[in-house]
Structure 1
Amino acid sequence: MVSIRRATAADAATVHALMCELAGHQGQRSAVSVSVDRMRELLARPEITYLIAERNGRAIGYVSWLVRVSLWSGGDYLALDDLFVREGERGHGVGERLMGAVAEVADGRVIRWEVAAANEAAQRFYQRIGAGLIPKMICRWQVEAGAAAESWHAGH
């Protein structure tokens, strides 16, 4: 039987291990730089939620999100960060249960997230649960500290 519960600061090492496993699955393990101590701090913040799925006391997946505000509507929405189910546990309804738990918490608010264009299995899963897919490009701009101000003052 699978149970789902909210992660607490005491679950920081478990959440960190699951995140690292997801990143490894996506070939991005080096992108996870958060420490377990920092994760403990983040799990204590009210706008950040992780739900952990467990089978017989063993973590088998999670879903995470942040509460954000839409400046267009003025209302809050849930910005889904990750949905992950461990290898060997996929295909048994765990992802659906986790997303169902998010839907309950959302209480009518919009839930938004990103999915890689190449991740067709995830796209099929999301469409199966009723999500709409809206093509968009994701822009990332990581500017060295202090460099942006110097660049803008110098006229780019």
Structure 2
Amino acid sequence: MIRTATPADVPVIHALIRELAEFERALEEARATEEQLHAALFGPDAVASALIAEDGGSEGGVAGFALWFRNFSTWTGTPGLYLEDLYVRPTARGAGHGKALLAALAAICVERGYERFEWSVLDWNEKAIGVYRSIGARPQDEWTVQRLTGPALAELAARAAPAGLGEPAASAPAG
């Protein structure tokens, strides 16, 4: 069963994120707190959404999750869905939970008129890549992910003009 996450799911989502980070050999990078996740998913300025895959046999009945957010394509003029994390616990793998989560996200796209559903996958995760190919996903080989973090992000931000960032442009008075 796939369902929309609720605020009560934040602790299990946090635990699943930690399990995913450990699987991806990057546990030390998973610094998000439950409070941050709650704000991101359910706060007044929520920026993400999550789905939960349930079954009777996994810890607490939760087999896995998918966390996603909207993006926007200037080329199509429509929103899209970016899948940030998809994780199914090892004990629940092979039962179709991952494909069910992907199908539910695809249904959200179709229902809302989103023309793109995108995500990234580690190049060594052959099992996941096989699942993605089996549902018709294709790699965007001509594109590479670029990322700024830490000191490089701070240094570039320091170059920005200080006035007006984050403020809507003022409109000219009607004349």
Same fold per TM (> 0.5)? yes
- Does 2:31 correspond to 1:33? yes
**Percent of aligned positions that are identical:** 32
Which runs of 4 or more aligned residues in structure 1 lie more than 4 Å from their structure 2 counterparts after TM superposition?
A: 149-153
Give the TM-score normalised by structure 2.
Answer: 0.78
The equivalent residue for 1:5 is: 3
Q: Determine if the alignment matches structure 1 residue 140 to structure 2 residue 143.
A: no
Question: Considering only aligned residues, what root-mean-square deviation do their CA atoms show, in Å?
Answer: 2.0
Secondary structure, in 3 states, of the residue corresponding to 1:88? Answer: helix
The alpha-carbon deviation at position 113 of structure 1 amounts to: 0.7
CA offset at residue 72 of structure 1?
Answer: 2.3
What is the deviation of 1:94? Answer: 0.9
Give the count of matched residue pairs: 151
The residue type paired with residue 148 of structure 1 is L
Unpaired runs of 5+ residues, structure 2, are: 162-175
Q: Does 1:64 align with 2:62?
A: no
Flag the structure with larger Rg: 2
The 2-side partners of 1:35 and 1:73 are apart by 35
Q: Call closer, same or farther: CA 1:101–1:152 in 2, change over 3 Å.
A: closer
- 2:15 counterpart of 1:17: yes
Aligned counterparts of 1:21 and 1:150: Cα–Cα separation in 2: 35
- Segments of 5+ residues of structure 1 without an aligned counterpart are none
Aligned pairs (5 A) from 1:72-151: 72-107=75-110, 108-109=113-114, 110-135=116-141, 136-144=143-151, 146-148=154-156, 150=158
